[in-house]
Structure 1
Amino acid sequence: MSTLTMSIAVGDRTVSDARRVSELGLSLPDASLTGIVAAGILAPPATSGATRTGLQWNSQSAVTGDDVINVESVVTRVEQSKDGAVFDRHVRLVDDGGSVLEQGIETWSSPEPSDVRFDPAVDFCTPAWGERLRESLSTDTAFASSLSSWDGTVGLRCTDSSGRARELHLRIYRGNIIDVARRVPGGATFTLIARAVTWVDLVFAERNDFLRRAIRGEFSSSGDGYEYLRLTKPLDIIIAHARSAAREWQSVPGHTLPLTCGREARP
């Protein structure tokens, strides 16, 4: 079974043992609930005392009793306050052939603020995250060179469990990021858009495969499509710096990834 962790952080993953659905002892009035209940059995709360407060679910191919599945989960967002902690977890039901049958986004609430570990390096598309990028990119000559004659604004958007969007604008002039804000006058030249789970998978993957994911349609864009395509190189550099910040944070003492059972989770 998946294990419980003492402190939840963005990027934490679990994988359950593979089980045949008919062996889980489910007796449901509505077969459409099978996947949701199976996920709850195979992927218990990530921390004791947490309560699930929200769920969005999508069934590409509804699971049946004959299916052999395991459940992969990854934490995509955490928030901490004096009143407690909230975190989102993306859950996938995967069959024995590696196909995702059903998936969803759970929102969990805990009365203990210490149940989550937060850092701007993994709070994607927020001003604090953008300031980390600006500081890091300020010394990257390849980034400056790739935008040496450009004057515009790059938007970066991350959609979360409720459909809300965290969006960041990087105002760039001749290779330098001169402003970081939620919005800039005139708006973004173009905006790069992805789900929270895509950002997490990208920054913690073994290699920077942004271009491959973009071609597969995991990222979309709004605004000036020509400029978006023309600035592929600087976007790839921005992603590389986001990956470095996230992986550096993940490697610091005190952050231990949860143990997993069964197949290794796929980013």
Structure 2
Amino acid sequence: MPGTTRYFEDFRLGECVHSPEFTLTVDDLTDFARLSGDRHPMHLPSADGLQDGPIAHGPLGLARYFGTVHESGALRDSVIALLDTNWRYLAPLRVGQRLHYRTTVTRTRRASAGDRGVVNRWIELRTSGDQTLQQGSSAVLVKAHGVANADADPVANTPFSPRWARALATLLEKDELFSSTTELFDGGIGLASENDEVVLRVYRGAIIEAAGRTPAGPDFTLRGAEHSWAGLLTGPENDLIVRVHRGEFWAVGDTYTYLRLTAALQAIVDNLRVMHRAGATA
């Protein structure tokens, strides 16, 4: 049965939702071929010479996602518009596979009008054995419960905003590890996702500015995708170093300074995780 409609304020960074499992059928491929006009033999039940039978159209996986969201009822009465979709095809979809979608909220951002907001999502199409076949991001504009100023929303939901940076700076003021590992540093530390960046201006162990930009810019910037940051900040542990080795995060700029301040970055992440657990506001 469809669930309760969710509005902008109901979403939290890092929350993860699994859809019910479903099985791809021959009828799914035939119907999609008829609708799309793509009747390539590899997509049809009569496909010859293909191991494990016909291969589903790649976009079928994405189209089915939006149908699954509609069936859930989560956005049925609150959705205003789909804003973008970036999608990757990692492995073929085949008839008989048991599949489900995993959706992670990677950011929320209230619109200036105050009565709606953008929810960014990271989506994975997985098999019952948790192999990821397709993945990508999609942003949707949804109604809010009421009209409010963005400053009333949890600061933890809006990473890489100046407000988020200032809340982090307040926590770091009391962090002895951060102070001791930056006591000889005079410069800027950048934190960034695909599209947004904040800079912490540090002078001898103290943050003297936290903003979207600073005049001198950062000495280096720690970059990662939105979904990687969401996992790092809301997962079970601070596994920054593991994620760096996996290529989820990387440094741009002065790499020597980046390596010298590894412990300070760990302290930054620890405090961000505290902020996100607490759902802090600022």
TM surpasses 0.5: yes
The 2-side partners of 1:40 and 1:225 are apart by: 42
Shift of 1:20: 1.8
Question: Using CA pairs below 8 Å that are at least 6 residues apart, which structure has the higher relative contact order?
Answer: 1
**1:47 and 2:71 aligned:** no
Moved over 6 A (4+): none
Aligned to 1:89: 121
CA shift digits 1:178-236 (9 cap, x unpaired): 11122222221000111111111111101111111111110122101121122111101
Aligned to 1:263: none
**1:102 and 2:134 aligned:** yes
Say whether the 8 Å CA contact 1:155–1:170 is kept in structure 2: yes
3-state SS of 2:174 partner: coil
3-state SS of 2:193 partner: strand
Query: Pairwise mapping of residues 21-170 of structure 1 onto structure 2 (< 5 A)?
Result: 21-22=24-25, 25=28, 27-29=31-33, 30=38, 31-44=57-70, 46-49=74-77, 50=79, 51-81=81-111, 82=113, 83-112=115-144, 114=146, 118-159=153-194, 165-170=195-200
Structure ID, larger Rg: 2
Structure 1 residues 189-198 or 121-130, which shifts more?
Answer: 121-130
Residue segments in structure 1 that go unaligned for 5+ positions in a row: 160-164, 253-267
3-state SS of 2:217 partner: coil
The count of corresponding residues between Structure 1 and Structure 2 is 246
State the TM-score, normalizing by the size of structure 1: 0.83
With over 3 angstroms needed to count, the CA separation of the structure-2 counterparts of 1:101 and 1:57, relative to structure 1, is same
The 2-side partners of 1:135 and 1:40 are apart by: 40
State the TM-score, normalizing by the size of structure 2: 0.79
The code of the aligned residue for 1:38 comes to R
Shift of 1:23: 7.5
The 1-side partners of 2:3 and 2:103 are apart by: 11
**1:189 and 2:219 aligned:** yes
The code of the aligned residue for 2:199 comes to H
CA shift digits 1:60-106 (9 cap, x unpaired): 11322232211100111212233422211111011122221101211
The 1-side partners of 2:12 and 2:169 are apart by: 23
With over 3 angstroms needed to count, the CA separation of the structure-2 counterparts of 1:46 and 1:205, relative to structure 1, is same
With over 3 angstroms needed to count, the CA separation of the structure-2 counterparts of 1:150 and 1:75, relative to structure 1, is same
Aligned to 1:241: 271
The root-mean-square deviation of aligned C-alpha atoms, in Å, is 2.5
The 1-side partners of 2:262 and 2:69 are apart by: 38
CA shift digits 1:100-156 (9 cap, x unpaired): 110121111124454999322231122111111111010111111111111111001
With over 3 angstroms needed to count, the CA separation of the structure-2 counterparts of 1:226 and 1:55, relative to structure 1, is same
Aligned to 1:177: 207
The 1-side partners of 2:5 and 2:190 are apart by: 34
With over 3 angstroms needed to count, the CA separation of the structure-2 counterparts of 1:136 and 1:107, relative to structure 1, is same
Residue segments in structure 2 that go unaligned for 5+ positions in a row: 39-56
Of 20, 31, 39, which residue of structure 1 is paired with 2:23? 20
The 2-side partners of 1:40 and 1:121 are apart by: 27
Structure 1 residues 43-52 or 98-107, which shifts more?
Answer: 43-52
The code of the aligned residue for 1:69 comes to L
Aligned to 1:213: 243
The 2-side partners of 1:36 and 1:220 are apart by: 29
